[in-house]
Amino acid sequence: MSLRIYGNRQLKTLPGQETRPTLAIVRSALFNIWQGTIVDCRWLDLCAGSGAMGAEALCRGASLVVGIEQSTRACAIIRQNWQQVAKETQTFQVLRGDVRQRIKALEGQKFDHIYFDPPYDSNLYEPVIEAIACLQLLVPDGEFAVEHSPDRKNMPTPVTLKLCRQKVYGKTALTFYRA
């Protein structure tokens, strides 16, 4: 399987339902919201799946993209996709493992944008959002977007994060936080 991103670039995806690429309309909406802040940004992609969001960030000029994904097969696809789109001046890293554990390795790092897209029915939302807040992974003017089902009404809001907006795109919702 494959999908297309910014600049009509084609990416590989895993067959079946092991990963669920973010819909084109949601990707487009997110990058429209964050336009003007992607060039030279530091991007963190949690539950990266096919790596489409990180690839899109690279195509739009992010200086660093870090992805965390549990699936070994998906990590191989992400690396291929990011190698295909990254320029020599851009850096990327793919970390394999449970996002709740691997995120701890990022302590001390700062990101301008964080994108978190776990399986909608998972129990990852609260511990990962809390970890991002606790580890203070966002730069002061950075933003963190969480993809989820619109049916999930009460998103956790740690004290050190401010819920700034929510958007719904059909069967997908995005909740945005700031430091």
Residue 11 has what pLDDT?
Answer: 67
Is the pLDDT score of 8 beyond 60?
A: no
What tokens were used for 60? 């739009």
Residue 2 has what pLDDT?
Answer: 43
pTM of the model: 0.92
- Rounded Cα distance between 125 and 69, Å, is 15
Is the pLDDT score of 63 beyond 90?
A: yes
The per-residue pLDDT of the chain, averaged, comes to 91
How many angstroms separate the Cα of 105 from the Cα of each of 68, 94, 114?
Answer: 11, 12, 15
Domains of the chain: residue spans and CATH: 2-16+23-178 (3.40.50.150)
**Residue spans of alpha helices (H) in 15-105:** 24-33, 52-59, 72-85, 99-102
Location of structure tokens 């809390």: 130
Location of structure tokens 């850096």: 91
Cα–Cα nearest to 22, from 177, 148, 151: 148
pLDDT, tens digit, 9 for 90 and up, residues 121-171: 999 999 999 999 999 999 999 999 999 999 997 888 999 999 999 999 999
Three-class SS state of 8 = helix
Q: What is the mean pLDDT of residues 53-60?
A: 95
